[in-house]
Structure formats: structure tokens, C-alpha cells
């Protein structure tokens, strides 16, 4: 359904905006534990940047760089990061997702950050693959 646009205005504005949207999304994910925002919101904003890119440059261009297989792997990798952090705490002798025992500086903040990054990756990949599936559906 979506093909490459002829309009140079749309393409230029999309190309200029996408890096700033992605930077803002990473900021929202990184500051999720101390300010409003978090993994879910940051992942949705990151997915919105890819949706803007595929509206402006056509779906095939985005699919060439970001295949369905990569999206599936990313969806699973985020869940794996979330559960892996929890199981790591379990292996170190505490409860599931009890970040206090992680062997890093500032273990609670870092544990929460790992969770947020996992949620962000999963939400981004799931939203973009829903978008691709909706467009491919006949």
C-alpha cells in the first residue's frame, strides 16, 4: 500500500526528524527509573520513528534494512533480557528481580535500566512488526 513518495518535502523532513525522535526515545528509556517515561513509552516512540520512515520512504526500503526475521529476534531478545536479569538475581541467591545483589556499581538502578531496555526493545519490535503485518494483509 505504501510506496515511495515523490515529494521532496516529506522525505527531507522525515530524514531530519528521525534521528531526533530516536534520540528522544533513548533518553526516555534511559531516564525511565527517575522521571516520567520508561521502557514502554520509549519503545513506542522508537517504533513511531520507524513508522515515519516507512511512510516517507516506502515499506520496501525499511524492510530491506530491518527484516521481519530481525524483528522477530529482537522481540524475543527483549523478553530474554528481562527474564535473564530476573533469573540472574535468582542465581545469585535472592528473589526473582531483586536487583540488590547484582555485582555492579549502583545495582538497583542498573537492574532497573536493564529491565527498561528489555521492555523497550520488545515493544519497539512488536509495534513495527504489527505495522508491517497490517500493511501486508490482503
Partner 1 sequence: MIWQLDLILLVFTVACAIGALVIKDLLGSVIMLGAFSLFMCLLWIEMGAVDVAFTEASVGAGITTVFFVIAVFKTERRSKD
* The three cell numbers locating residue 89: 538475581
CB of 58 to partner 1, least distance (A): 15
* The three cell numbers locating residue 93: 541467591
CB of 5 to partner 1, least distance (A): 16
Q: Hey, which residues between 2 and 41 contact partner 1 (CB under 8 A)?
A: 28, 36-38, 40-41
- The answer to whether 54 touches 3, Cβ cutoff 8 Å, is no
Tell me the Ramachandran region of residue 79: left when phi exceeds 0, alpha when psi lies from -120 to 50, beta otherwise: alpha
Using CB under 8 A as the binding rule, whether residue 135 contacts partner 1 is answered as yes
Write out the residues near partner 1 by the rule CB under 8 A: 1, 28, 36-38, 40-41, 44-45, 47-48, 51, 127, 130-131, 134-135, 137
Amino acid at each position: 500500500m505504501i510506496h515511495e513518495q515523490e515529494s521532496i518535502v516529506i522525505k527531507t523532513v522525515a530524514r531530519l526528524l528521525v534521528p531526533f525522535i530516536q534520540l528522544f526515545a533513548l533518553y526516555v528509556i534511559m531516564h525511565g527509573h527517575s522521571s516520567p517515561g520508561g521502557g514502554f513509552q520509549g519503545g513506542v516512540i522508537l517504533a513511531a520513528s520507524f513508522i515515519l520512515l516507512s511512510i516517507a520512504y516506502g515499506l520496501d526500503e525499511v524492510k530491506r534494512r530491518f527484516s521481519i526475521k530481525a524483528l522477530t529476534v529482537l522481540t524475543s531478545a527483549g523478553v530474554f533480557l528481562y527474564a535473564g536479569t530476573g533469573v540472574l538475581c535468582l542465581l545469585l541467591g535472592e528473589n526473582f528481580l531483586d536487583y540488590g545483589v547484582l555485582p555492579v556499581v549502583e545495582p538497583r538502578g542498573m537492574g532497573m535500566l536493564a529491565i527498561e531496555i528489555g521492555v523497550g526493545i520488545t515493544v519497539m519490535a512488536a509495534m513495527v512488526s504489527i505495522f508491517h503485518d497490517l500493511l501486508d494483509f490482503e
